[in-house]
Amino acid sequence: MSPYIHKVKYYECDPMGITHHSNYVRFMEEARVDFLDQLGYGFEKMEAEGVVSPVLNINVKYIKPSKFQDEISISVCLEKTSALKYTFHYVMKIGETTICTGESIHCFMENGRPVVAEKRFPGLAEALGKFSDGRIAGAEI
């Protein structure tokens, strides 16, 4: 799986030239969307079938700043699963230096009601299992 690359835009920086902290959550979303696209389960496909994936929780750990025109490589993996929730883990790097880590927890909904992704999109659950970070080996999806 290829990491997602985000090049920091000028408007994403504060007056000190540092990427504003709120943008890292956006970078995580960009990377997750790209990750799902690479798996063949992009948002267009799911939303065309009436399924959405809202965010339930976000955690971000800021380690080092990034600046205008830095290229941030963002790796995504599946950290945990349950019948209704998926937790994605993100590592953001500039070169070999980790600048930020995070996690986001999501569910899948159809017609305003939670759905079990494994039943609704069995191929997605199988594909996600291949890209877990190893901390959930043997976990049931």
Tens of pLDDT, residue by residue over 73-123, are 999 998 888 888 999 999 999 999 999 999 999 999 999 999 987 888 787
Q: What is the pLDDT of residue 140?
A: 32
Are the C-beta atoms of 29 and 76 separated by less than 8 Å?
Answer: no
The token pair at 90 is 């993100």
The answer for residues whose C-beta is within 8 angstroms of residue 118's C-beta and 6 or more apart is 83, 125, 141
Give Cα 80 distance to the centre of its chain. Answer: 13
Active site residues: 14
Q: Which helix H or strand E contains 106, and what residues bound it?
A: strand 97-106
* Residue 112 burial (C-beta neighbours within 10 Å; 0-12, 13-18, 19+): exposed
- Is 60 exceeded by the pLDDT of residue 141? no
